Structure 1
Amino acid sequence: MEDTTYYLYDYEYIFTGQVTVPPIEPAPYNSVMVPPPDLAGTQVAKWNDFSFQWEVLDERPPKPIPSAQPWQIDQEKDRRTAMGFIYDGKSYLTETQSQMNDILGALADATAAITVDQAQSGDLRWADPRYDFAWSAADGSGVPMDAQTCLAFTRAAVRRKSLLVGAGLALKAMNPIPVDYMDDKYWPTMDATSKVTET
């Protein structure tokens, strides 16, 4: 039995060369026994798995631009949400839904204390007349807050979450979605504020 010649193609089905194999050896991966047509200049041959023949292209197609997937953006948004945020120089946790629920509850309480109870600036017992109100920072310390400070703090937490969601949506709207989507340049900083700052 004579050796068999196989014609090879790459992952884009573009002809890359040929190889002769002894009859006792299996056919190489990504190969066919049909010889490609003669090519000229920048022409390339592309194997068509449906017609079982080579097609002639004037030049090799450009490689597709790599891109990330929407689910990866959602994962990165969730990861950054779990990292927490920095407010007035202190780090705070938002890694669980329970912590976010606590923040939303404190926002409502602080708003009611100011608008209904007329809580005054500097009054740390606006939430409970028996105890000074404090919020636990990431380092375990308690940060005293009057109602006005608590309101600004909780609004900052909500705003940061909204900015993360917006940044994720902006990334998913890009075509293609950049592969460096984890770069800080696409995401809001850890420092949170309750107001929009002018740039």
Structure 2
Amino acid sequence: MSSRRGTVVFLRDILDEARERILQSMKERKTTKTEDIERVADVLAVSGVMVQDMKGRRNNNYTFSWDRMLSFSADSGVFLQYAHARLCSLIANCGVAMSSEVDVSCLNSDSAHQLLLVVARYPELVEETLMTLEPCHIVQYLFKLSHLINAAYSNLPVKGEATEVAQARLLVFDSARQVLCNGMKLIGLQPLHQM
């Protein structure tokens, strides 16, 4: 993309192409749960472009890649949106009432501890981002958080567990969802609740 060589690509064209690729991907997936796929595709396209641009330091160049930018499973804006929507679905459909008074001794797994340690680091990462003016710190943190969330799904089931265990785990997932949501908003993304 060089204006001197006449190979300028406009942002509108990138967003339109990203939207079309996401729409195609969503139509092929059997797990799409939203009725408004046009709006979701728009949000995912913007998320993909923004995160692709912010995931490295501002003074570093990067190689543009549609596959990396729009991946549902790799470090991308789409991946962050998917992690958030999946958490929203878990919280809404687990059949357990949310409680702020839980027995933390139920959280004796390594997955819960790792997830809570990363959640607790959020204020520190916000401060670091503010001091360095490098949004990549928040983006990399959100990637790490999302990977830990995905790993915790299989290690920390909520549905079918004893009430006190389920409520403690649900609170962990809700805390992670809140931090993920706040971090996404901080970098200008609109978190999706359903995809």
**TM bucket normalised to smaller:** under 0.3
> Please, what TM-score do these two structures have when normalized by structure 1?
0.24
Larger % of helix: which?
2
**Structure with the largest fraction of strand:** 1
Q: Relative contact order, CA 8 A, sep 6+: which one is greater?
A: 2
Question: Greater CA radius of gyration, 1 or 2?
Answer: 1
